[in-house]
Every structure is written in structure tokens, then in C-alpha cells.
């Protein structure tokens, strides 16, 4: 379960008074209590005399249920252990519950409290004598006094008469309570998924450093920026700063009252000086204010700033603040922060599990609903897409409603968004100052349902239009679109709620869809096209044919009124599997708009494009799977803007027009699957900007003779009948050549299809599968070559020594080159194949990052490895006996089934400050000859680093061995482990996760087999209840007999908590006293013991480790110390060596070639 904020604690009192009764009960404390009561501030004051050493449960509860604790330090305060224990508990509540603490130094100097000298020193001498056998208690009291004295408080000597002190305390408490209530109305109840975010903000603030810094919190509307800033403010304001202010709703307040009102507000709160309220134009740099601020460490939060003008005016002269001061700014616009913020934190959406929990809390008042409501809950959570505001609003709205009302409301939300959510999000849209950027936002909202590439958006909305590029950047800055975290291609996405908001804005333009600027609903579009209901208002049409539920007959004049149509995008997910289609009974006699820049019509149903269509503004033409035989029946005059044409799988297409003069800017031409296309005219010769040509599947294409321009990518895969591909291709300004053997390169002489003179601009050369026995030496002239693929060249026997000249090479793939026996002597090395030896100069590849040697069965040793190596793959190198010293940053080693491997050297310890940025992945499964020291190294390096690094992902380690690691405190022989007594309070804040280790006997495996190792873990309380049953499994894939193997599985705490949600079970509390583990092999998920599985795999031993942060860090430190001792270097040596590696590498590149010490910047090397 995600952790909740301290704000969820019940708070019964506004103020708790802590005081020494004999000093102030009948004087100052009584006056203060009366004044607080007169102001309706609910205050707890203990009217009973102190008895004994320990405070009563009533007082303990009163402290915990108070918002503010006021501690009145007086002459004899520390002579009472009662008072001292009160103080300790108050400070604990400050730490755990965010309670505000206000010290009052009444007739005692703060330094006496801080240093425990004077009368406090006398009192402590007596306490130390009295508690000789409990000195830890005395030390605890001393620490509490020191901590409390460092808090921002009031000294009675500064106020005369005493009534002024009382009045000042009342003012301060009233201000704190107002701010407290103001902050808390945003997030009544539990806060979900916030703890990790708080920790990140605190790390960015770097409390304790003496600089003055601004940090930014950035994110979309409703994502939790204000909530996060509020919780951090409440946690830090009273403990680390002397003055604090939380300025809410800066954007709104700026519009209503102006900048001076905002300045007065926060300066008054920071300095508590009424004179500021009387100033006409207060500003930080004024001498009066500057003199006060430079002596007072402050915390300022500026919430919801939406322009640099506002921020600059508010933080003017901020560098004059006292050392250690901090400013937090929340905004939807990242540009506001870029000039002034030291760090910027983007608030991410909640996870699916966190979303459900937050929704449940508001919809049901508890973490989990009844199982009948779970499906509906997930629909709402999916709709909210991780936005906390939406989850809270919808949860509260659906609270106490029937299932039928839920279903009706959820269905309605798909079309009509909740007004409260809509209003919060619309602020960002209205904050777009430029109407053009607003239109870009609406275009994206209506065009794309899922993630999209920036190139696609720019191409559709205005190819090479700088305004579109700028507009998209502005939308990213203002969190109206964002990088898609799931995509591996850097795609963008728009939050579902923002997309719906954009579509609602368009929907509100007019009641009739045909009078709206953008159309995206398939049924709306089909009705308009059938009935000719479109108007000049329509600018964009985009819909998925997969969404239509019937065949649609389009009106012949369907587009006649749409004279402002810019984008026509009729697409389908699968052009070969579309159930319903669009039909035209006859040709379109109406024109398509001259403003049309993007024209996509998958399965276009006509033989020609409309004869009166003027495509002068057309940038992209996409007619995939169309029925066109040719594009136009007449000569086209000009296509100056056309950059992409995709006619793929238009099986009736017989010819394409001469584009050499009419489309000079064409960059991409896709004719894949055009099976009736007979000839590609010589006009291709003159398309100087053509960068992509796909002729795959053009089975009737007979001749491709003179293409010698700057083509960048030729995808001629499986192109069927191409008969001639002349050697003049080698004279091109080619950057990428991809060729296959079937019909393209059919001449036996390698020089006929791999020229002696390669194109100099070549960056990637793929000759995989070509039956060549050697590469020409001219390969070394390709100074810009980055990727060279020679895999499956089964006749290749040698490589030229000139290969060392490939200074830009990052990848060299020689996998499957079975006749290649030796890698050449590398004057500036490279590597990978089924080889027997590798040059010792491999380490001269100073930038090599990846080395693949999989399946080099004769390779017995490795030379010294390059210093920048990140990944090493030696799987199935059955003769390999040892691994040389692994480079510092090597993260991945795959040595699976290296059956002769006996030893690897230690990984060097990470230098200070780099851990845990780099993680390590290792696989030594089937390496049965590894010695025990090496096994210990593997376990320690991998397990420790990975566990410290992981918070939400489970981890798996596989390695040979028959001994459970010693730090697994619970272990046994066999498959059943009973833990009779768990440590008290084991499930505390230091608990990181749970590790399970199993020793497997796989000796009976003779053929490829996948075994499931199943885990079932129960936690039991003292009354024999079973609140948690956790189940998981691990697949073990092996293809041969193995000696004993170990599998270690680590489950971080966050994953354990979340795993029980579907079962409505709670992760055990610290009161769980017993546990049991059952492990069994099977071929089926979560079945009982599988006899067939047991036949091949036996569970020899199993163990459990309750992973504690302190234990893990201590084990990590011990491992580093041990390795350094063995390797004979210390921290400084380690860090210096790292620096030397990369500085020297960089300096070589800058200084140019050094003939005596040549290097190569190769990054990847495959020799399977």
C-alpha cells in the first residue's frame, strides 16, 4: 500500500502547552492559555501536578492530536523528567506527523537551553547521577533540548511588558493555523504515492548547504504540484527555517490584486513585520527589507506561477537572502523556471495501483472496494490516467452512488468531462497566449488517440514550418503534451484528460458536427460524408476506419463545401483486415481543397485522384492499399511541397508519373507491394533529396539501372524481380546500404557487388549473408562508417588489417562467420566471431562499449578489456577459463554456460558519488567450475548494488552453487521453511524488501526445458490469523545438464505492497510474528507440487532474507573494503583511475591521431 501523509492523523487540539508547573502554571502559562481560549484557539493545558518520571497516556495522546506544540522553557524546566519526556515526544511528533513546534524562552537564555550550561547544567549533573544506569535517556534529553533550541522561537527578554509577548505568540499561532488550514484543504485525507516525491524534493533542496537556491516543481494541472509543495513546506518550515511563507495561487492573486499585494503578503509572513504592510512598493532589495532578510534563513513557496514576469518581480534580489534560504516555485510552464531554478522536478502521474488506491479512498473511504466494484473502479482510474485531481473529484462524486449510477456516470464521462476537472485543465489552454499555438494543441488533441512522433506531428501540421516546431515545444514546456515514458523511440503523448478537454473545446464550437473545425468521431464523419453536411468550417478530418460499424457510401460531392480542409486522414490499423469500408458509386466530381497539405486515405476506393484537385500545398500523400491504377489522368504541373509519397500495397498501380521536375523536394517514396508496377522511370535519377526508397515486393519490376544520386536508404529487401543493380551505386553519396543476396547481388565475384571503392559517406554497411570470402582493403577508407554487419557470411575467412582504420565504428557483427578463425592484429583494435584468439591490443579501443563473443567455443582467454566497456557477452564460450579485470563501469556480463570458467577478477568498487547511477546485470548460470570466492563476488556485487537501486522492480540472479549466502538469516534444507519468530518491528521504514534464495538440482535435464520455480510466502500474526499470502514464480530455461544452481529473487517493499491489491489483502504490519515459505518446481503456474517438475528439478535448500537498508549498506561497505584490500587501492586511487580513463580518452580525440598510440572510437563488437 502506498504510504500516506502525516496529514491523515486525527487532530483534536490547535495547541498543546508544555511548561514547568512550579515556574509558570499560575503566571505566564495561565495568561497565555486564557488569551488563546479568548481567540477560540482550542488549547490543551495539563492542570494536574506532575507525578513520576513518565508522562501519562492522556498527555501522550493530547500531544499527538495537536497541530502546534508551544514549549515554554523556564529556569527549572529540565529539573522535571516529566517535562523532558514531553519534549522528546513532541519532537517525535514533529518528525513523524509534521507537527509545528514553537519554543518560548521565558526567563532563560536560548544558549543555556542549547548548551545545557548554567542552571540547566546543574540540573543535568543531578540527572546523570540519578540515571547512571540509563545514560542513553539522559543523552536523549540533551539532544532534544539542543534540537528545540535551534528552532525559530521567541525570547521573553525582547518583549516588555509581558502582555506584548503573549500578543505576539497569539499572532504567530493564528498565522500558522491559517496557513495550516489553507494548505490542508487541498488534500484532506490520505495522500497516495507522495513519499518518494517528497524525498526527491528534499534532496534537490539540499537542506544544510549554505547557498541560496530556487527549485521548481513542474507538471500538468491537477497532477499534485501544490500538494507536494505543501507537504514539503509543512515538513520543513518549522524545523529548518526562521521565517516561512506559502504564497498560494500566485497566478490568480496577481491578476486580482497585482504584484505589490503579493510582495507584501510573503514579506510580512517571512519577517512578521507590520511595517511592511504600510509600504507602497516593498521589494526584497530595499535597504530596510534587505537588512532583515540577510539575517534570517527563510523558506518561500510560490505556488502556481505562470509567467517569468511574475517570478522575476517576486524573487528580485533573492540572492541577498540569508545563507541556507530556499525558494520553491510550482508552475505548469517550465520556461518560467529555466532562468532561475537550480533544479526542476517534474511531477509524474500516479501508477495504476496508486490511482486505484486514491480513488478507493474517496469513493469508498477505504483502500479497497468490494470485488463487485473493482471493474468499475479500474475504468474510472484508467479514465483519470494517473491525475490525482481527477481521481479525487470522481471518487467523491461517485461516493455512495449505486452500481447503475456508476455505470451511467462512467459512460457519460467518455463524452462529457467533469466540469471541475475541465475547469482546472482549461487554465493551461487559456494560458497559451498565441492563437496559433492553441490551434496546434487542438489539432493534436483531435488527430492523435495514442502516442505520436514529433516528426509525424510536424509533418501533418506544417512540414518545415518553424512556427509548428516552436508551438510543439511550447506545448511540452506547459505540460500540454509530454514525452511518452513507455515509448522507446522518444514519442510524445497527450494526457487523456487534456485530449478530452481539447475535443470538448471543439465540440462546443457548434451543435452540428459539420460546422466544427475538427472532426474525429468515425460516426460523425461518416454521416457528414454520406449526407454532404460538411461546411467551410471544417479544417481537419481524422478517423480510424476500424471504428466504423458498417459500409459507408460517400456522397459524390462530399468535400465540395470543405474549402478550408487542411488535413484529411482516413486510416486503418490493419489495411489487410478491415471489416467495413468506404465506397463511392462514381468518381468524386467535387474538388478537394487547395489548402490540403496532408492527404491520407487508406484503401482509397477510386482509380484516380480527382481531376480538379490542385495538390500545390500537399506535403504528404498516403494511399496505402488503394485501388489507384495511376494518380492522375493528366500531367501534374507542380508538387513543390511534396516530401513523402506512400502508395504501398496498391496492387493495381501500374505506373507513377515523372516526379523529377514537379516534386523536387520528395524525400520518401514507398512502393512496397505494388505488384503491378512494371517500371520505375529514370526520373529517380534527378530526385536529389530522395532519402528513402522501398521497392520490396515489386515482383514485376524489371530494371533499375541509373540511380546515382544522394540516396540515403535503399530498402530493396525481397524485391523479387530486380535484375540489374549496377556497380555505379558505389559512386553515390550513399549513407546507408542494405543488401540481401536473393536477387540483388547474384554475381559470384565479390568485387562485382562489393566495389573496391566504397562510397565515402557510408555510415552503415549491411552485407549479412553474402557469400564472400574476404573484404577488400578499401574498407579502411570509410572513416565515417559506424555500423558494419557481416553476420552469416559463412565463407568469410579473413578481415583486412585496414579495419583498424575505422575510427568511427561502433558496431561490428561477425556472428555466424564460421570459417573466420582469427581476428587480425589490430593496430587500433576491434572484435567478434568464432575465434581462437584476440589481439592483446583490444584495450586500445578506448571507446568500445559492447563486446559480443557468444559461441566462440575455442576461445580460452580474453585480453585486457577496453576501459569504457559497458557490456560483455561470452555465452557458450565453452573453453573460456577466466575473465580479466572487468572495467569499472562494466554493467552487464553474460557468461551463461561457460562450462570451463573458473575465475573472474573483482569488479572495482564504484567511486564515491557514482553509485547507484550504474546498475549491473550478470548471468553465470551453468558455470559449474567457478570457485567460491568468485561466487561470493558475483552475489555481493550484483545483489547488493541491485537491491539498493531497486524500489519497484523485482530482481533475479542466477549463478552456480549449493550454499545459501550467510546473510540469509532464515534458511533450511528442502523446500519448506518455517520462521517461528520474526524480529519485532521488522516492517519499519528501513525495511527495503524480501529476498528468497533457492538451490536447485538440475542434474537430470538432458534437453531444452523450462521449469517454473514457484514461491508461496505466508505471514502470520500471534492469533494465527493469516493476513498475507504472497505468491510468485520464476522461469528457469536450461538446455543441458547442470550442477547445482542458485536462483535469488528479490521483491522490493513497494512491489510486495502492491501485489496484494487484487486479493484485497494487506501487506503485513510489523505485528506479524511468524512466516512460512514453500517452494516447488512445476510446468504450470501455481499448481501444487508437480510430479513431472520434481522429476527434473529438486529443491535442495531455500532461504529468506528480510532486507534492511542498514544491513545492506553495511554489507555493501564490507564488500567494497574487502575488494579494495585485495586489489590494493583506496578511494582516491579508484576515482583517479576513472578520471584518467575518460580524460585521456577525450584528450586523444581532441588532439587528433597519434601514430605511436593509435586508438579507435568503436563502441560495439560482435563475434559470435
Q: How far is CA 34 from CA 18, 44, 99, 156, 162, in A?
A: 15, 11, 22, 18, 14
- Top mean-pLDDT range of 75-89, 349-363, 764-778: 75-89
Higher per-residue pLDDT: 1058 or 1090: 1058
Say whether domain 186-346 belongs to CATH 3.90.930.12.
Answer: no
pLDDT of residue 214: 94
Q: How far is CA 247 from CA 121, 201, 309, 344, in A?
A: 42, 18, 16, 19
pLDDT of residue 1: 32
Rounded to 5 degrees, what angle do the CA atoms 314, 319, 320 make? 95
Gap between the Cα atoms of 91 and 112, Å rounded: 19
| Spatial CA neighbour of 601 closest among 654, 544, 551, 674 | 544
Rounded to 5 degrees, what angle do the CA atoms 43, 45, 46 make? 155
Active site residues: 86
* Cβ atoms 902, 924 nearer than 8 A: no
Predicted model pTM:
0.57
Neighbours of 747 (CB within 10 A): 10
pLDDT of residue 762: 63
Higher per-residue pLDDT: 238 or 462: 462
- Top mean-pLDDT range of 386-400, 1015-1029, 1049-1063: 386-400
pLDDT of residue 1039: 52
Report the CATH fold assignment for 934-1128. Jelly Rolls (2.60.120)
Instruction: Output the nine-digit C-alpha cell for 686.
Output: 534527378
pLDDT of residue 847: 61
Query: Which one of 3.40.50.2300, 3.60.20.10, 3.40.50.10140, 1.10.10.10 gives the CATH number of domain 7-171?
Result: 3.40.50.10140
- DSSP lists the bridge partners of residue 1035 as 1012
624 φ, ψ (degrees, to nearest 5) = -70, 135
| Spatial CA neighbour of 671 closest among 634, 637, 707, 622 | 622
pLDDT per residue as tens digits for the range 19-63: 998 899 889 999 999 999 888 899 998 875 555 556 778 888 899
Q: Give the pLDDT mean for 335-344.
A: 91
Higher per-residue pLDDT: 744 or 232: 232
What distance lies between CA 852 and its chain's CA centroid? 29
Residue with cell 488503394: 626
pLDDT per residue as tens digits for the range 487-546: 556 689 899 899 999 999 999 999 999 999 999 999 999 999 999 999 999 999 999 998
On the question of pLDDT at 773 being above 70, the answer is yes
Q: What is the DSSP letter of 322?
A: P
Say whether domain 421-508 belongs to CATH 1.10.3720.10.
Answer: no
pLDDT of residue 86: 92
pLDDT of residue 638: 85
pLDDT per residue as tens digits for the range 171-220: 888 878 876 665 555 444 467 888 889 889 999 999 888 899 999 999 99
Q: Give the pLDDT mean for 858-862.
A: 80
pLDDT of residue 1085: 39
Instruction: Output the nine-digit C-alpha cell for 155.
Output: 525570547
Higher per-residue pLDDT: 841 or 447: 447
On the question of pLDDT at 987 being above 80, the answer is no
pLDDT of residue 921: 65
Label residue 1065 by pLDDT band (50, 70, 90). very low
Gap between the Cα atoms of 1042 and 1038, Å rounded: 8
- Top mean-pLDDT range of 72-86, 360-374, 754-768: 72-86
On the question of pLDDT at 710 being above 60, the answer is no
Label residue 361 by pLDDT band (50, 70, 90). confident
Q: Give the pLDDT mean for 1049-1078.
A: 65
pLDDT of residue 144: 93
User: Under DSSP, is residue 634 helix (H, G, I), strand (E, B) or coil?
Assistant: coil
On the question of pLDDT at 649 being above 90, the answer is yes
Gap between the Cα atoms of 1162 and 347, Å rounded: 38
On the question of pLDDT at 1160 being above 70, the answer is no
pLDDT of residue 231: 87
* Cβ atoms 793, 817 nearer than 8 A: yes
Label residue 819 by pLDDT band (50, 70, 90). confident
Label residue 893 by pLDDT band (50, 70, 90). confident
Q: Which CATH superfamily is domain 725-820 in?
A: Ribonuclease Inhibitor (3.80.10.10)
pLDDT per residue as tens digits for the range 781-809: 777 777 777 777 777 777 887 776 777 77
The rounded mean pLDDT for the chain is 76
Instruction: Output the nine-digit C-alpha cell for 1167.
Output: 563475434
Percent of the chain with pLDDT over 70: 72
Amino acid at each position: 500500500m502506498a504510504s500516506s501523509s502525516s496529514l491523515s492523523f486525527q487532530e483534536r487540539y490547535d495547541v498543546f502547552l508544555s511548561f514547568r508547573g512550579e515556574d509558570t502554571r499560575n503566571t505566564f502559562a495561565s495568561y497565555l492559555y486564557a488569551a488563546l481560549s479568548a481567540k477560540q484557539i482550542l488549547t490543551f493545558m495539563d492542570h494536574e501536578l506532575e507525578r513520576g518520571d513518565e508522562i501519562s497516556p492522556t498527555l501522550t495522546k493530547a500531544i499527538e492530536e495537536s497541530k502546534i506544540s508551544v514549549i515554554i522553557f523556564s529556569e527549572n524546566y529540565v529539573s522535571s523528567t516529566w517535562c523532558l519526556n514531553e519534549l522528546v515526544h513532541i519532537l517525535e511528533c514533529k518528525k513523524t506527523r509534521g507537527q509545528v513546534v514553537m519554543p518560548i524562552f521565558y526567563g532563560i537564555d536560548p544558549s543555556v537551553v542549547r548548551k545545557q550550561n548554567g542552571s540547566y547544567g546543574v540540573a543535568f549533573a543531578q540527572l546523570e547521577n540519578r540515571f547512571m544506569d540509563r545514560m542513553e535517556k539522559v543523552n536523549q534529553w540533551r539532544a532534544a533540548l539542543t534540537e528545540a533550541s535551534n528552532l525559530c522561537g521567541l525570547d521573553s527578554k525582547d518583549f516588555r511588558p509581558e502582555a506584548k509577548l503573549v500578543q505576539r505568540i497569539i499572532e504567530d499561532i493564528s498565522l500558522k493555523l491559517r496557513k495550516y488550514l489553507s494548505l490542508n484543504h487541498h488534500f484532506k485525507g490520505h495522500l497516495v504515492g507522495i513519499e518518494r516525491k517528497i524525498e526527491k524534493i528534499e534532496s534537490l533542496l539540499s537542506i544544510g548547504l549554505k547557498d541560496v537556491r530556487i527549485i521548481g516543481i513542474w507538471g500538468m494541472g491537477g497532477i499534485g504540484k501544490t500538494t507536494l509543495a505543501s507537504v514539503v513546506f509543512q515538513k520543513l518550515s518549522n524545523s529548518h527555517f526562521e521565517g516561512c511563507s506559502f504564497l498560494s495561487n500566485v497566478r490568480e492573486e496577481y491578476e486580482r490584486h497585482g504584484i505589490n499585494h503579493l510582495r507584501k503578503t510573503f514579506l510580512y509572513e517571512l519577517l512578521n513585520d507590520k511595517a511592511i504592510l504600510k509600504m507602497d512598493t516593498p521589494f526584497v532589495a530595499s535597504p530596510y527589507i534587505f537588512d532583515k532578510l540577510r539575517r534570517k534563513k527563510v523558506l518561500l513557496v510560490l505556488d502556481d506561477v505562470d509567467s517569468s514576469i511574475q517570478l522575476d518581480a517576486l524573487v528580485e534580489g533573492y540572492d541577498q537572502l540569508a545563507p541556507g534560504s530556499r525558494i520553491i516555485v510550482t508552475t505548469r510552464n517550465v520556461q518560467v523556471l529555466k532562468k532561475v531554478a537550480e533544479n526542476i522536478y517534474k511531477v509524474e502521474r500516479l501508477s495504476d495501483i496508486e490511482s486505484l488506491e486514491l480513488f478507493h479512498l474517496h469513493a469508498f473511504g477505504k483502500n479497497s472496494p468490494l470485488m463487485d466494484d473493482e471493474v468499475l473502479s479500474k475504468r474510472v482510474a484508467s479514465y483519470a490516467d494517473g491525475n490525482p485531481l481527477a481521481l479525487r473529484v470522481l471518487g467523491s462524486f461517485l461516493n455512495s452512488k449505486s452500481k447503475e449510477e456508476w455505470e451511467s456516470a462512467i459512460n457519460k464521462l467518455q463524452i462529457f468531462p467533469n466540469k471541475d476537472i475541465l475547469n482546472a485543465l482549461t487554465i493551461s489552454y487559456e494560458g497559451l497566449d498565441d492563437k496559433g499555438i492553441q490551434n496546434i494543441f487542438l489539432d493534436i488533441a483531435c488527430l492523435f488517440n495514442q502516442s505520436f512522433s514529433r516528426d509525424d506531428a510536424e509533418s501533418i501540421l506544417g512540414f518545415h514550418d518553424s512556427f509548428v516546431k516552436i508551438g510543439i515545444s511550447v506545448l511540452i514546456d506547459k505540460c500540454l503534451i509530454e514525452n511518452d515514458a513507455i515509448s522507446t523511440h522518444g514519442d510524445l503523448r497527450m494526457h487523456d484528460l487534456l485530449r478530452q478537454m481539447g475535443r470538448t473545446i471543439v465540440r462546443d464550437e457548434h451543435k452540428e458536427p459539420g460546422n466544427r473545425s475538427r472532426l474525429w468521431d468515425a460516426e460523425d464523419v461518416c454521416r457528414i460524408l454520406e449526407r454532404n453536411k460538411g461546411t467551410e468550417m471544417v479544417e481537419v478530418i481524422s478517423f480510424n476506419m476500424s471504428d466504423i460499424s458498417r459500409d459507408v457510401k460517400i456522397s459524390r460531392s462530399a468535400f465540395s463545401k470543405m474549402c478550408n480542409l487542411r488535413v484529411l486522414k482516413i486510416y486503418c490499423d490493419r489495411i489487410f483486415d478491415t471489416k467495413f469500408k468506404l465506397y463511392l458509386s462514381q468518381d468524386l466530381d467535387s474538388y478537394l481543397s487547395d489548402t490540403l497539405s496532408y492527404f491520407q486515405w487508406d484503401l482509397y476506393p477510386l482509380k484516380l485522384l480527382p481531376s480538379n484537385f490542385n495538390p500545390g500545398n500537399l506535403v504528404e500523400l498516403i494511399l496505402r492499399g488503394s485501388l489507384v491504377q495511376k494518380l492522375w489522368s493528366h500531367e501534374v504541373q507542380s508538387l513543390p511541397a511534396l516530401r513523402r509519397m506512400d502508395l504501398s500495397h496498391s496492387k493495381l498501380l501500374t505506373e507513377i508519373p515523372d516526379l523529377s521536375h514537379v516534386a523536387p523536394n520528395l524525400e520518401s517514396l514507398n512502393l512496397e507491394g505494388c505488384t503491378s508496377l512494371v517500371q520505375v522511370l529514370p526520373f529517380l535519377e534527378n530526385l536529389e533529396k530522395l532519402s528513402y526508397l522501398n521497392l520490396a515486393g515489386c515482383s514485376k519490376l524489371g530494371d533499375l539501372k541509373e540511380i546515382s544520386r544522394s540516396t540515403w536508404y535503399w530498402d530493396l529487401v525481397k524485391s523479387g524481380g530486380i535484375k540489374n543493380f549496377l556497380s555505379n551505386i558505389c559512386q553515390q553519396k550513399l549513407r546507408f546500404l542494405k543488401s540481401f543476396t536473393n536477387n540483388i547481388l547474384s554475381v559470384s565475384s565479390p568485387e562485382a557487388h562489393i566495389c573496391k571503392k566504397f562510397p565515402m559517406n557510408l555510415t552503415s554497411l549491411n552485407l549479412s549473408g553474402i557469400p564472400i570470402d574476404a573484404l577488400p582493403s578499401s574498407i579502411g577508407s570509410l572513416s565515417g562508417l559506424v555500423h558494419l554487419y557481416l553476420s552469416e557470411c559463412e565463407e568469410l575467412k579473413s578481415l583486412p588489417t585496414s579495419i583498424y582504420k575505422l575510427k568511427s565504428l561502433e558496431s561490428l557483427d561477425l556472428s555466424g562467420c564460421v570459417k573466420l578463425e582469427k581476428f587480425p592484429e589490430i593496430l587500433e583494435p576491434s572484435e567478434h566471431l568464432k575465434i581462437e584468439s584476440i589481439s592483446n591490443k583490444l584495450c586500445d579501443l578506448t571507446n568500445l562499449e559492447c563486446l559480443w563473443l557468444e559461441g566462440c567455443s575455442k576461445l580460452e582467454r580474453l585480453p585486457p578489456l577496453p576501459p569504457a566497456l559497458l557490456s560483455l557477452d561470452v555465452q557458450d564460450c565453452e573453453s573460456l577459463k577466466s575473465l580479466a579485470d572487468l572495467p569499472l563501469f562494466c554493467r552487464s556480463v553474460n557468461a551463461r554456460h561457460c562450462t570451463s570458467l573458473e575465475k573472474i577478477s573483482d569488479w572495482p568498487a564504484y567511486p564515491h558519488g557514482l553509485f547507484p547511477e550504474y546498475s549491473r546485470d550478470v548471468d553465470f548460470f551453468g558455470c559449474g567450475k567457478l570457485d567460491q570466492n568468485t561466487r561470493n563476488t558475483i552475489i555481493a556485487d550484483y545483489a547488493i548494488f541491485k537491491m539498493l537501486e531497486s524500489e519497484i522492480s523485482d530482481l533475479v540472479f542466477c549463478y552456480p552453487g549449493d550454499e545459501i549466502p550467510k546473510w540469509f538469516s532464515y534458511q533450511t534444507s528442502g523446500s519448506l521453511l518455517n520462521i517461528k519468530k520474526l524480529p519485532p518491528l521488522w516492517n519499519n521504514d528501513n525495511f527495503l524488501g524480501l529476498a528468497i534464495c533457492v538451490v536447485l538440482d538440475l542434474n537430470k535435464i538432458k534437453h531444452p526445458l523450462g521449469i517454473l520455480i514457484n514461491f508461496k510466502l505466508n505471514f502470520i500474526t500471534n492469533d494465527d490469523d493469516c493476513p498475507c499470502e504472497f505468491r510468485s514464480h520464476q522461469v528457469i530455461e536450461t538446455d543441458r545438464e547442470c550442477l547445482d544452481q542458485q536462483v535469488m529473487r528479490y521483491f522490493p517493499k513497494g512491489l510486495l505492497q502492491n501485489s496484494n491489491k487484487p486479493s484485497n489483502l494487506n501487506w503485513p504490519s510489523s505485528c506479524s510474528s511468524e512466516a512460512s515459505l514453500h517452494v516447488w518446481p512445476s510446468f504450470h503456474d501455481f499448481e501444487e507440487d508437480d510430479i513431472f517438475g520434481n522429476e527434473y528439478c529438486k529443491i535442495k535448500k531455500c532461504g529468506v532474507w528480510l532486507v534492511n537498508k542498514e544491513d545492506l549498506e553495511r554489507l555493501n561497505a564490507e564488500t567494497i573494503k574487502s575488494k579494495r584490500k585485495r586489489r590494493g587501492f583506496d578511494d582516491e586511487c579508484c576515482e583517479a583511475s576513472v578520471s584518467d580513463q575518460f580524460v585521456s580518452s577525450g584528450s586523444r580525440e581532441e588532439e587528433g591521431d597519434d601514430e605511436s598510440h593509435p586508438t579507435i572510437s568503436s563502441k560495439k563488437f560482435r563475434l559470435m
